[in-house]
Amino acid sequence: MLEFEFDNLFGLAMLTVSGLVGGELARRIRLPSVTGQILAGVVLGPSVLGLFGHDLAHALTPVINVALGLIAMAVGSHLHIYHLESASRRLGWLLALEMTLVPAVVFAAAHVAGGGNWVFSLLLGTLAVSTAPATLVAIVKETRSRGVFVSTLMAAVALNNIACILLFEMAFTAVSVGADPSVGLSRIFLAPVAQVAGAALIGGGVGLGMVVLTRHVFAPDRLATASLVALLLTVGVASAVGISQLLSCLFLGATLANTVPEKEEVGHRAFASFEPAILAIFFTVAGLELDLGMLAPAGLLAAAVVAARAGGKVLAGYVAMTIARAPVRMRQNMGWALLPQAGVAVGLLLKVRESPLQDTVGQLFLVVGVATVMLNEILGPITTRWAIGRSGEEGKDRPRLIDFLHEYNIVTGFHAETKEEAIGKLVDVLLRSHRLGEVDRDALVAEVIEREKAMSTCVGRGLFVPHAHFDGVSKLVGVMAISREGLPLETPDGLPVHCITLLVVPADEKRRHLEVLAALARSIGADPNFQNQLYHAHSPAHVHEILHAEEFEDYNYFLEEEQL
């Protein structure tokens, strides 16, 4: 017994080191670390050197389940209801097309290449919807990416994994009914609902328990310990009752994001220091389990499925972002970033292997399914890294001067007849978007108006920057409103106001406020190119992209540590 435990721990240590080394080597040749970690596992595994076998991977299953749960919790944290309100059109269209177009394209390709086996094609089509959350989390962290594209991408991954489980459960039950009519047609709809409802109940229940705990516990170390217990509890309960562990942890992350977003010591953020090692373990073990021998029998059929899925994802991303009038970079790159596949897909493949349906769908389904996931997981990280780079958000996860303005703090199509009306509307947006429910709204409005009467901040050239020093906030907060037509307010140059930026800072902190004022005056007030782009932006996403574009870094510059 002691020898078995020692071997597993030794193997875990070797795989972790190998994964970290493989990831670093991959980065040196400008490949994602994920790709290097997966390939390190493949080389160490049965397919190449055979230093470690599948038995080690199986022995490490609990560790991998916890790692995947942590990753799912991080992805779920991007499902913040208010923050996603401005992205709802993009996400809605993308989810609709991923649930229809992608399965249809893959079904057609598998049906033709697979000799007309509709059961085989139906299951592969539904599996194609999912995207590997772990891969995206790893690449986003490695590239230090942040912005509207990344936030939309992460939320889309959370949603398409939920959709994949729903569709697959429906398809799986339909096939079961065909093989055994006694199963009952009603289960086609009940099975997927039960999976999602069960995951929401487990993850949401544990998350709400954490919320209650945070009201009584304030010590960071205790909150971090409680987060670990919550993660283990969610994974363990989900596994015990046969509910998706990934989906349960995703709901856990979403629950915490919507209830205690200000708690840095709660949820996946509590494990930030260990994430590189956790991700290295996860992807190296994933590579260890890949069997390159499966690529040969899968042959052209797996290649056809991979190509069809890639085409469907890219087309779905482009069409959805076009309909939603998303920025051009988002249209061009969203689908390419969604190509990695593992996690949910692997779990659903195992469900088929362990069910009586294995004889119905045939061994070919499992071979092709595993080969497809393998190819997508090796090639997908490369396309994701490329897409994030082309989105312009790589390297942007650093503090910047105008970081307080996110997509959900920006309003377009703004209308107001007077300064007082404009200030009142923007204060409402500020309190809602920054979650300042305890701030006295009327007192803040009165303070901003009083300052405006003392000295007008309509600086001309379409810019209006009302502000206040207010004890009800703990840091600089603000919102921006864009009016393409222009507001008929009194200005020094007689021109209409197109951009209003409301700033509120603590009474004892004025430096950052003055820096922001200066940057806005230099950019909007003096740069006609900046003005033209900003004043004609048709969505908050476009405004955010303009503010964070590379050509305007002289205005919205990166802050050094001593400036924070």
The Cα–Cα gap between 10 and 8 comes to 5
Of 82, 241, 93, 238, the closest CA to residue 159 belongs to: 93
Instruction: Return the top range by mean pLDDT from 43-57, 86-100, 469-483.
Output: 86-100
Per-residue pLDDT tens over the stretch 344-394: 777 777 666 666 666 656 667 777 887 888 788 888 999 999 999 999 888
396 assigned to some structural domain: no
452 assigned to some structural domain: yes
Q: How many domains does the chain have?
A: 2
Q: Are residues 23 and 102 in the same domain?
A: yes
- Torsion (CA) 426, 431, 432, 434 in degrees, nearest 10: 110
Q: Are residues 521 and 556 in the same domain?
A: yes
Q: Are residues 206 and 278 in the same domain?
A: yes
Q: Are residues 202 and 154 in the same domain?
A: yes
Residue tagged 């009165």 (tokens): 446
Answer yes or no: is pLDDT of 5 > 50: no
Structure tokens at 252: 């856990």
166 assigned to some structural domain: yes
Boundary (domain end) residue, out of 391, 418, 434: 391
Q: Are residues 260 and 206 in the same domain?
A: yes
Give the amino acid at 130. S
Q: Are residues 313 and 387 in the same domain?
A: yes
The CATH number that applies at residue 235 is 1.20.1530.20
Lowest-pLDDT choice from 187-196, 251-260, 421-430, 458-467: 187-196
Tell me the chain's radius of gyration from C-alpha atoms: 26
Boundary (domain end) residue, out of 391, 425, 456: 391
Q: Are residues 442 and 293 in the same domain?
A: no
The CATH number that applies at residue 536 is 3.40.930.10
The Cβ of residue 224 has, within 10 Å, a number of other Cβ atoms equal to 19
Q: Are residues 462 and 359 in the same domain?
A: no
402 assigned to some structural domain: no
Angle at 125 between CA 120 and CA 128, to 5 degrees: 130
What residues are labeled active site?
467
The whole-model pTM stands at 0.80
Per-residue pLDDT tens over the stretch 318-353: 999 999 999 899 999 999 999 998 767 777 776 666
Which domain covers residue 502, as residue numbers? 407-563
Q: Are residues 353 and 478 in the same domain?
A: no
42 assigned to some structural domain: yes
